[in-house]
A and B are shown apart, each in its own frame.
Chain A
Amino acid sequence: MAELKEIAKELLTSGTVAYIIGYASEKNDKTVPFIARTVEDAEKLVFTHHSVNNLSVYLKRIKKPESGKVGLVVKGCDLKAVVALIQESQSKREDIYIISPKCNTVVSDNTKPWNKDNIASKCLSCEVRTPSLFDATFGEIETVELPSDEQIELIKKVEAMSTSEKWEFWKNEFEKCVKCYACRQACPLCYCDQCIVDKASPRWIDSSATVQGNFAWNMIRAFHLSGRCIGCEECNRVCPVDIPLSLLNRKMSMFAVSEYDYKAGTSIEEPTLVGTYKLTDNEDFIK
């Protein structure tokens, strides 16, 4: 933690960054997103098991500071969103100062203390606890005992269902949707100025919270993220009615890997899955 504060102070003092988007402590171990603009602010920056939020979301529509870069405290997992934003021309690498910690997993429930049974599901299959892309890094990797990955079990379970069972499963989930669009707000890659759901002519997606409209919204939201979703699971976390949105996202990410050997947000130079093709792409399903 002291390391982070030192890094932050140096960056702010030297003017390398205009400000740093990071985490600050709140009561009960919780952390909240915090913007450090001064050396005093830097003192407040923390990185703990409770640093859950994907702060790259703040890069959406960010204004470039008059001078200096934007400092961003970002975990290895969330860093993939930064990579994707750069790939999709939403950010420039040279405009961001990446401070990426070595991460020892974060909590699933931010109101309860971190322990073996309170670890975010995205951490369970994490391959980037040590980040590979950064301007500064800190912390040490510790061995963490992980519970089993229930999400992947659930994906397998849904896959094994009959068509009508799958439909019922999702219908029950999507019925709950109140179209609050928190999923969209929290997603670093949902950055359109005008979302397709807000487009009135034509109205592809019924914007009222009817089951049909909910189906359409959740389907198209997930489709627009297919091959792009980096699996930060923020949508899941913020959903007020607990729709397992990342179940669908993860399913599609797994498909991207199995079908196209593509992991979103891995490399800035890599061509994106959407927008490119290979002559050898599978077409067994096409008559």
Chain B
Amino acid sequence: MAENSFEPKITAFVCNWCTYTGADLAGTSRLKQQTNARLIRLPCTGRIDPVFIMKAFQNGADGVLVSGCHPGDCHYNAGNFHARRRWAMFKEMMDFLGIDNKRLHFSWVSASEGKKWVDVIDGVINTVREQGPFTQYKDINKETEIPVK
């Protein structure tokens, strides 16, 4: 790894039943991936609150992936349908506020889609790498005082 090359930090919020298991399958199938992603396992995409995404960015994540079961496959019947609306609105708002949609990704990856998982996560890592470090958010962290205007 070259010294100056930028390696993005990706936080992935995934559901236990589909995407986490799909990522397990990718592992069992020894499908190689880049090492940048860190998974946080939730029971269901329905549990994934947009504040998670906000907090991850706030604390220095360069990119976030949210992933769960395909519509109709939710272990809890409808969690992903509620999540879908929530994400659509949050994503729209993030975009309007100037947080690049290339840093925030969503996918459906089922327990049997190990290969898709690899494609998705590598795709996210590559896209975020192209964007460079998420300095905007990190910069405001430094401004701890109320600016005098």
Residues of A within 8 A of B (CB): 158-159, 161, 163-171, 175-176, 178, 196, 204-205, 209-212, 215-216, 219-220, 222-223, 226-227, 248, 251-252, 255-256, 259-260, 273-275, 277, 279, 281-283, 285-287
Chain B residue at minimum C-beta to C-beta distance from A260: B85
Q: Which secondary structure dominates chain B's binding surface? A: helix
The total number of A-B Cβ pairs within 8 Å is: 119
Q: Given A204-B51, A216-B58, A281-B81: A252 and B143 within 8 A (CB)?
A: no
Q: Kindly list chain B residues whose C-beta atoms are within 8 Å of the C-beta of A273.
A: 85
Determine whether B141 belongs to the interface, using a CB cutoff of 8 Å to chain A. yes
Known A209-B146, A211-B147; 9 more pairs at CB < 8 Å: A167-B99, A204-B55, A205-B51, A212-B141, A251-B96, A255-B89, A285-B88, A286-B84, A286-B108
Question: B78 contacts which chain A residues (CB < 8 A)?
Answer: 277
Across the two chains, which residue of chain B brings its CB closest to A155?
B96
The answer to whether residues A223 and B81 also contact, given A163-B98, A285-B106 and a CB cut-off of 8 A, is no
Q: How far is the CA of A164 from the CA of B97 in the complex (A)?
A: 9
Q: Is the CB of A283 within 8 A of B58?
A: no
A277–B51 CB distance below 8 A: no
Does B98 lie within 8 Å of A167, measured CB to CB? yes
Closest beta carbon of chain A to B42's beta carbon, Å: 15
Number of interface residues of B (CB under 8 A): 42
Q: Are B93 and A211 in contact (CB under 8 A)?
A: no
Contact at A252–B93, with CB atoms within 8 Å?
yes
Residue of A nearest to B131 (CB): A163
B96-149 with Cβ < 8 A to chain A: 96-101, 105-108, 120, 123, 136-137, 140-141, 143-147, 149
Partner of B82, one of A159, A169, A216, A275: A275
- Residue of A165, A175, A277 near B85 (CB, 8 A) is A277
Docked-complex contact B97 and A219, CB < 8 angstroms:
yes
Residue of A nearest to B96 (CB): A251
Contact partner of A279 among B55, B81, B100, B108, CB < 8 A? B81
